[in-house]
């Protein structure tokens, strides 16, 4: 038996007026998702415990079978692991976004945050900016590392007491003064970064090209080095993961899963969808389970792009169709878990704490829910999984 987990990050949503009061899942043309939904187990599941923040690390840990109450130490340490950073016990990792703030001569506190991703900045531009930040703000105990697009990392040895941090995608369009870190050490870095990046040649070029400047860092999601038991030790099957983002790669590495890089995988709407599916099929020659993570719907949700979110879902449906055709050609038994990790509603532009629709489909099944893969249809089934870590157990039959 082979297993595929296909995660459309943030696919869940609320009805949207401009989509005819439909959710993106209801609006999208997705014959393959609906096919397995009609013939499989359709329901809702809680991937994030009610007392925890609906973040991608907590949700994806649960989907991989790891209780986030036990294993979630923040997303930044997982991203650091993916980036090859060796963390020591005295080190704390921080997610370091490069963001776009207003630049109208106002004080830093009075600026508005326009974009948590600086226009989905490319890797090359981001590396230049982070290199400058590290040169100007790094030292013997503090180092900045470039990651992918806007997602970067700060490692701080014996850091000051950690205070409350705000996720930048939660406050888009808002004045940042009420959301800055209470600890002056962290706030000072962010304020100083603006003066460094504001006139950086890379940003001046970006502005001339009509792009958003990446004119400030934003620190959040601190944590210590994570420790996960190996996926094989938990479930007795070899597994691989395919994603464009360091968070998922970091979880895979910590769980001793194979982490597969795909050329052209970006974590945005414009990514190498076919490359991911081709890599997944090849991975099944050496693994029993492949976890495929697609970031695009989440990014569209954060950016408030309803039509693009629909398009991202349709692209993922194409991935599912390719996977099914290739799995059928192999003529071996398989099961597929299709889901999102958490909703990212367009109206909120951030993650929400609601159950996710899921489908578990097994090859050859002709009887199932009889319903399409949508939030409302999943609710109709009455199937509700309170513990999201149970989904991988339902898929594989392993405890």
Question: pLDDT for 293-307, tens place per residue?
Answer: 999 999 999 999 999
How many Cα atoms are found within 13 Å in the side-chain-facing hemisphere of 342? 26
Can you give the pLDDT at residue 74?
81
Question: pLDDT for 257-290, tens place per residue?
Answer: 999 999 999 999 999 999 999 999 999 999 999 9
Residues 6+ away with beta carbon under 8 Å from 241: 248, 249, 251, 252, 257, 258, 259, 260, 290, 291, 292, 293
Say if residues 358 and 338 touch (Cβ distance below 8 Å): yes
Residue 145 pLDDT grade (very low, low, confident, very high; cuts 50, 70, 90): very high
In this predicted structure, the answer to whether residue 227 has a pLDDT above a threshold of 90 is no
Cβ atoms within 10 Å of 354's Cβ, excluding its own: 18
Can you give the pLDDT at residue 225?
84
- Where does 244-347 have alpha helices with state H? 246-254, 273-283, 296-303, 306-330
Can you give the pLDDT at residue 69?
94
More confidently predicted of 226 and 78: 78
In this predicted structure, the answer to whether residue 197 has a pLDDT above a threshold of 80 is yes
Specify the pTM.
0.84
Cα–Cα distance measured from residue 103 to residue 212, given in angstroms and rounded to the nearest whole number: 11
In this predicted structure, the answer to whether residue 398 has a pLDDT above a threshold of 90 is no
- Kind of pairing, strands 239-242 and 258-260? parallel
Can you give the pLDDT at residue 73?
80
Can you give the pLDDT at residue 337?
98
Can you give the pLDDT at residue 203?
97
Residues 6+ away with beta carbon under 8 Å from 84: none
In this predicted structure, the answer to whether residue 399 has a pLDDT above a threshold of 80 is no
Domains (range + CATH), the chain: 2-70+227-396 (3.40.720.10), 91-223 (no CATH)
Bridge partner residues of 291 (DSSP)? 5, 241
Question: pLDDT for 343-391, tens place per residue?
Answer: 999 999 999 999 999 999 999 998 899 999 999 999 999 999 999 999 9
Can you give the pLDDT at residue 366?
87
Cα–Cα distance measured from residue 253 to residue 317, given in angstroms and rounded to the nearest whole number: 27
Q: How many residues does the chain have?
A: 399
How would DSSP label each residue in 346-386?
TTTTS----PEEEEEEETT---S--S-SSHHHHHHT--EES
In this predicted structure, the answer to whether residue 32 has a pLDDT above a threshold of 80 is yes
Mean model confidence pLDDT for the chain:
96
Can you give the pLDDT at residue 248?
95
Can you give the pLDDT at residue 285?
96
Can you give the pLDDT at residue 75?
84
């Amino acid at each position: 038996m082979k297993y595929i987990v296909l995660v459309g990050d943030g696919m869940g949503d609320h009805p949207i007026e401009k989509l005819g009061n439909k959710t993106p899942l209801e609006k999208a043309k997705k014959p393959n998702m609906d096919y397995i939904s009609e013939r499989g187990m359709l329901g809702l599941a809680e991937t994030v415990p009610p007392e925890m923040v609906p973040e991608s690390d907590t949700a994806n840990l649960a989907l991989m079978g790891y209780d986030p109450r036990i294993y979630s130490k923040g997303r930044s340490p997982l991203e650091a692991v993916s980036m090859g950073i060796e963390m020591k016990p005295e080190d704390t990792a921080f997610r370091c976004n490069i963001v776009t703030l207003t630049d109208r001569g106002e004080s830093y506190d009075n600026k508005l945050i326009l974009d948590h991703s600086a226009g989905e900045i490319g890797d090359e531009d981001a590396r230049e900016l982070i290199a400058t930040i590290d040169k100007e703000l790094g030292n013997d105990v503090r180092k900045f590392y470039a990651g992918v697009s806007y997602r970067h990392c700060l490692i701080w040895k014996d850091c000051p007491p950690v205070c409350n941090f705000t996720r930048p995608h939660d406050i888009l369009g808002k004045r940042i003064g009420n959301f800055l870190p209470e600890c002056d050490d962290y706030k000072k870095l962010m304020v100083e970064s603006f003066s460094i990046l504001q006139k950086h040649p890379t940003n001046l070029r970006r502005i001339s090209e009509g792009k958003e400047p990446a004119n400030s860092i934003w620190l959040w999601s601190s944590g210590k080095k994570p420790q996960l038991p190996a996926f094989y030790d938990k479930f007795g099957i070899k597994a691989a993961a395919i994603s464009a983002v360091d968070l998922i790669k970091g979880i895979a590495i910590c769980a001793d899963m194979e982490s597969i890089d795909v050329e052209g995988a970006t974590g945005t709407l414009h990514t190498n969808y076919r490359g991911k599916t081709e890599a997944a099929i090849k991975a099944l020659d050496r693994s029993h389970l492949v976890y495929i993570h697609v970031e695009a719907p989440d990014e569209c949700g954060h950016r408030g792009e309803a039509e693009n979110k629909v398009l991202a879902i349709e692209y993922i449906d194409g991935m599912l169709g390719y996977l099914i055709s290739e799995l059928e050609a192999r003529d071996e038994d398989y099961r597929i878990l299709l889901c999102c990790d958490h909703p990212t509603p367009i109206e909120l532009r951030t993650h929400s704490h609601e159950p996710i629709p899921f489908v578990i489909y097994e090859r050859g099944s002709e009887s199932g829910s009889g319903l399409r893969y949508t939030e409302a249809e999943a609710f109709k089934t009455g199937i509700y999984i309170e513990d999201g870590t149970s989904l991988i157990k339902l898929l594989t039959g392993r405890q």
